[in-house]
Structure 1
């Protein structure tokens, strides 16, 4: 994989993440405003994204204090993360890519935490949530590949 292809794939994954997160925000806000709302991603009682997206874990990851300024919907954090990944994909400096990798790995850790809550606490399945977990894993993989490409390029320049 070439650096340009890697950056394009990162941008595409980031855009997909923004779209999924925006839909999650739409579902969350609509479900809160209209009780009984049934989203397209509500397949059954055990697979209801609107139930998950209106749970106490849907804001501030369920760990931030109530009424805190940071207690905002998780999908807003996701949207900010994906926009930041798109922005950082335009830089090919090793320090920026290392920051990008740390952020991507942090998103994977938060995905594992949220997946645990989804499966074992809420005992539900949310296709929108699971989609973001896969997007986060893809972004982490792509950033790792980008880091390898840049590292290899630097080593080749040094050996010449």
Structure 2
């Protein structure tokens, strides 16, 4: 007898599809439904994300420390497949090969970072601009490192990005 379809089962199935795609890549696989599921799942990744939310809100923790932590976590062996999947999904969307109903995957990151920058003294508009630049540079640096394997250069650029974002926060204070 088949298992009943319910919200929990749908989340499990979506998580399983995403994990499999993270291992195998997506190439020409149609990803509309799984891509919509990215960031909407209540699975393991969402639980980890929720547990990390308190730290970026702490003013005593420099923004650069949060960025460095995310950089190293995303490029760690346990997260690397998911990081590759996210970069691949973004690339397909940018190339027009993956149509999303809304640009939530990318815009949502900037919109989630901006309030943390407002909390540290930036105006709303300046925070959204800074968050957009930060997230775009962060993603591009990760893509560059994944494509070229230039770890030393990527780390140096990541350090420069961290210095830049801390300077933005300091200037606003």
TM-score by length of 1: 0.35
TM-score by length of 2: 0.33
